[in-house]
Amino acid sequence: MNNSSRVLLCILTALSLVSCSRSPADAITNVLNKCADTSHKAAIYNNNPGLQARYIAHEAQKIDIRDCPPDFRQAFQAHIFAWQQSAAALQNNTAGAAVMEGALAGATGDSRFIGQANQDAAIAVQQINETYFVVTEIAQRYGARVPTSVVGQ
């Protein structure tokens, strides 16, 4: 193989590698589709919101986001963190917690305890929704297709 053939082979190889790389929109769409698939699978934990949140956070962390733009990667990690942080609040928002809050409020005469677990869970869900909004807003800026969210259905 002569030098000009080697150069041509190198150029063709480089061009094929460039043409195979995904656009930011394609990479983001792929990540969001995998995230939606994780949400579908998490439906098996509908009766245990805390476990569902842990599952989603754990599985979403496995999604390869290296081909995505830095601003999307940062927003996606913040969204995963919101899921991780929400697990305890969602787990604790039970009828038993409400009974305990009522008993504590009755024993202390302090009504501030009533509804605390529910409020904590609502704040956690709000954080998940806010971070998801940022993720989808960035995705749309890059022209990615955003799947319909299935969490909570």
Ranges of each domain in the chain: 23-141
CA dihedral 61, 62, 68, 70 (to 10 degrees): 40
Model pTM score: 0.74
- What integer pLDDT is reported at residue 107 of this predicted model? 58
Amino acid at 48: N
Q: How many Cα atoms occupy the beta-carbon half-sphere of 106 within 13 Å?
A: 6
Question: Is the pLDDT assigned to residue 136 strictly greater than 90?
Answer: yes
Residue 149's pLDDT band (cuts 50, 70, 90)? low
Please provide the average confidence, as pLDDT, over all residues in the chain: 79
What are the tokens at 119? 């409020």
3-state helix, strand, coil in the chain (%, to 5): 80, 0, 20
Q: What is the pLDDT of residues 53-100, one digit of tens each?
A: 999 999 999 999 999 999 999 999 999 999 999 999 888 865 554 545
pLDDT at 97: 47
Under a CB-based contact definition with an 8 Å cutoff, are residues 151 and 124 in contact? no
The closest alpha carbon to 42, from 34, 32, 54, 52, belongs to 52
CA–CA separation, 88 vs 132, rounded Å? 19
> What confidence tier does 115 reach under pLDDT thresholds 50, 70, 90?
low
Whether 142 has a pLDDT exceeding 80, the answer reads yes
Has residue 119 got a pLDDT over 80? Answer: yes
Between CA 24 and CA 26 the distance in angstroms is 5
Q: Which of 86, 103, 99 is nearest to 48 (CA)?
A: 86
